[in-house]
Amino acid sequence: MLEGRRTVGYDPPNTSPMRKLINQPNPMRSFDSLSEKEILALAISQEEEDARIYDDFADGLKENHPEQALQFSQLRREEDSHRHRLLELYRSRFGEHVPLLRRQDVRGFVRRRPVWLVRPARIKSGAEGGRADGT
């Protein structure tokens, strides 16, 4: 009897704004559409991701290249320091809750290959050239 009718204040689950967002094929935001709060949250998540990448590199190098592993561990500590400073800034301006915003949520943001695809298998010597990630 109420099929097809909408009553005031009632939003059927399949037409709610969240449902529409979830059902989109690629629900990404443009960087320009992000608020200051969201940009800072994105920066925090990137610092955490970078720290974890450096830690993965250090772990992959520690057995055969302990000196280089230590350098990547130092880079991880620097990224952690950056993240903590950004968190302090965020909390002072916006409070405790930091929304989850990741690079894959932002259209046109820098893409990275998965770390397991570029995990350093070996270090090339200066004569061979190349980077620690094997490229």
Per-residue pLDDT tens digits for 103-127 = 888 887 777 766 666 655 555 655 4
Residue 111 is which amino acid? R
Q: How far is CA 3 from the centre of its chain?
A: 43
Residue (of 38, 112, 45) closest to 83 by Cα position: 45
Q: How many CA atoms lie within 13 A of 47 on its CB side?
A: 17
* Cα distances (angstroms) measured from residue 24 to each of 13, 14, 29, 34, 105: 15, 13, 12, 19, 13
Amino acid 107: pLDDT: 83
What string of pLDDT tens digits covers the 135 residues of the chain?
445 554 455 555 555 555 555 555 557 888 888 899 999 999 999 999 999 999 999 998 999 999 999 999 999 999 999 999 999 999 999 999 999 988 888 887 777 766 666 655 555 655 455 544 444
Please state, in angstroms and rounded to a whole number, the distance separating the CA atoms of residues 123 and 130.
Answer: 8
The string of DSSP codes covering 17-63 is HHHHHHHSSS--EEGGG--HHHHHHHHHHHHHHHHHHHHHHHHHHTT
Amino acid 31: pLDDT: 86
Domains of the chain, by residue range, sit at 32-118
Please report the beta strands in 94-134, taking only residues with DSSP state E, as ranges in sequence order: 106-107
Report the predicted TM-score, pTM, of the whole model to 2 decimal places. 0.64
